[in-house]
Amino acid sequence: MSPEEIKNAICKELDERKAVDITVLNVAHLTVLADYFVICTARSNKQVKAIAEYVEEKMEENGVPVLRSDGVREGKWAVLDFGSVIVHVFNDDTRMFYCLEKLWTDGENVEFYPAK
């Protein structure tokens, strides 16, 4: 799968699990870490964990295994690294505290899912 296809599949799975404020940042021109950051919010720590586990499972079924993950057990901020796409699942407070969108946005690299 291409990075764009991976990103789209992840966004679809996040939406199915009721993640909110799904934001995609195209960071290919800003870092060598990944092509996309997908950021979303869950309503509770339990939902952070459930969403992260669900996305990991579904992407593995699609032939895209997670390379690394962190924070899933704690449920405040889960990070899933799929190589070209890094997924951040936050609870409300943690997303507001870290505000990754401000760190990685250049004004033209943001897209929302579903498209607004």
Q: pLDDT tens digits for 49-93?
A: 999 999 999 999 999 999 999 999 998 999 999 999 999 999 999
Domains along the chain with CATH numbers? 3-113 (3.30.460.10)
- Confidence band, pLDDT 50/70/90 cuts, at residue 116: low
User: CA-CA distances (angstroms) from residue 45 to 20, 71, 72, 78, 83?
Assistant: 14, 11, 9, 10, 25
DSSP 54-87: HHHHHHHHTT---SEEESTTT-SEEEEE-SSEEE
pTM above 0.85, yes or no: yes
Non-local CB neighbours of 92 within 8 Å, separated by 6+ positions: 41, 43
pLDDT attached to residue 97: 94
Confidence at 115, pLDDT banded by 50, 70, 90: low
Three-class SS of residue 14? helix
Instruction: Tell me if 10 sits within 8 A of 31, measured CB to CB.
Output: no
Exposure of 11 by Cβ count < 10 A (0-12 exposed, 13-18 middle, 19+ buried)?
Answer: buried
